[in-house]
Amino acid sequence: MDGNTDEKIVFDILGGAPDGAILETMLICGFGIGNVIRAEFGAGKLEPPAYPSEWLAIDIRSIACDHYEVAGGNGMIKYVPCAGSTVRSLKLAEENGAVHRIGFTDIPDLGRYMLDLSAFAEENYGGNVIAFDLRDPEWIATPGRNVVLAGDPDAARRAGDANLCSSELTASLRCRCIRTPSNIIGRGKDSDCMPRYSEGFYAYARDCIRTITSGNPEAGRELRKLGLGVADYMDAARRAPFLSSASFLAKVDEEKEAAADWDGTLAMLLRKMMAAKSEMLKAEIGGRIGIVWRERDDGKADMKKAVYLFRKSADSGVRWARRELLSALWEDGSPDALLEMVSRAYEYSSEGDRDAMEFLGWAYEDGTGLPKNEEESKKWLSKAGRNPEKMSMWDQ
């Protein structure tokens, strides 16, 4: 391969409506793009390009997208990918009848179409086929370099469709599939449908493609290792801002100790909250502000505010704030507060929270918010591990 190492590998791309994502990835990785083949299900046999390249990349992302179901004039129904066409344009084409938008898995006879695709790839490219699964990232790196979870329900559905599509294709084609790791981090979006990934991903894609095209007999092992590497990379990238927040919090606590009076502490914490970059960090500081509101002894203590802040903080996932919230609600003592305490304690203990179990135990013992019940109380307390005899050694 001495002479060929510098030669650019050119890919034909097969997809429903190959969008920017795969083109951009290929170009960033330094590969060439030959023909772009658009596949519409039910539109008849796919024609191979006049000058096919050596390799074919199947763009799963654009195959497993939503489709328009178009009743053609000739009585045939075909399925056109939504990207790249609009209802208007489809209706304007004279022979077309009704147009509906349906999901990928709603296409009838999907398996047959998948087989058609693999047959096309097999006939024209032999074994030189790579399936490429580019997914919408769930984690997004914000401009402030925080990594946040962007739960997009639509992306969830698409990811499910893509999983189905890639497993069907790789099973029938026996080709290699480059999988986007499920913890992929994106850098926001250019447009509605085109994800941009963080840098590590492109390096991974390039390495994968090179490994596959080099014909290395150990390629399978190599690809698995690359997959391992990129997943670790994304994990590390996600963790980095999160971990640095520990030192941030340590500093906050230090300054809190040093602050002269309660108002000063409050002002400092609010300032820090504004500066905090991640939701988690904001929640942590919010909980600390709650403590100030509860503990200040200059006559301005406000339990309501404290409870509000603890609740918010606990809902954002701060563990210690849960305990504070429960005890604040307990102290409040009003029927509403107690009801909330009990229901929250049950919720948290269902997630294995020891403190919440302990609260339940006390509540039963005391008859606070719950009917007095010795047995239940003992049960919960021992569950919480207050009884050393019963403490589990399995909490590793």
* Interface positions with another protein (CB under 8 A): 149, 156-157, 159-160, 163-164, 166-167, 170, 177, 179, 181-183, 219-221, 223-224, 227-228, 231-232, 234-236, 239, 242-243, 245-246, 280, 317, 319, 350-354, 385, 392-396
Query: Which is nearer to another protein, 294 or 311 (by Cβ)?
Result: 311
CB of 195 to another protein, least distance (A): 16
CB of 224 to another protein, least distance (A): 6
Question: Which CA distances in Å does 87 have to 29, 65, 69, 191?
Answer: 34, 15, 10, 19
Which residues in the chain belong to E strands, given as ranges? 10-15, 32-38, 55-59, 67-71, 77-81, 99-102, 129-133, 139-141, 147-149, 176-179, 185-189, 195-197
CB of 350 to another protein, least distance (A): 5
- Beta carbons of 127 and 173 less than 8 angstroms apart: no
CB of 148 to another protein, least distance (A): 11
Query: Which is nearer to another protein, 280 or 307 (by Cβ)?
Result: 280
CB of 153 to another protein, least distance (A): 9
Q: β-pairing, 55-59 with 10-15? A: parallel
Query: Which is nearer to another protein, 99 or 159 (by Cβ)?
Result: 159
- Beta carbons of 319 and 348 less than 8 angstroms apart: no
User: CA nearest 356: which of 390, 380, 328?
Assistant: 380
Query: Which is nearer to another protein, 100 or 239 (by Cβ)?
Result: 239
Query: Which is nearer to another protein, 40 or 136 (by Cβ)?
Result: 136
**What is the residue-wise DSSP string for 76-129?**
-EEEEESTT--HHHHHHSTT---EEEE-GGGSTTHHHHHHHHHHHHHHHHTT-E
CB atoms within 10 A of CB 10: 15
Query: Which is nearer to another protein, 46 or 140 (by Cβ)?
Result: 140
The CA-CA-CA angle for residues 130, 179, 4, to 5°, reads 40
Query: Which is nearer to another protein, 101 or 224 (by Cβ)?
Result: 224
CB of 128 to another protein, least distance (A): 17
**One-letter amino acid of 267:** A
CB of 160 to another protein, least distance (A): 6
H or E element, residue 216: none
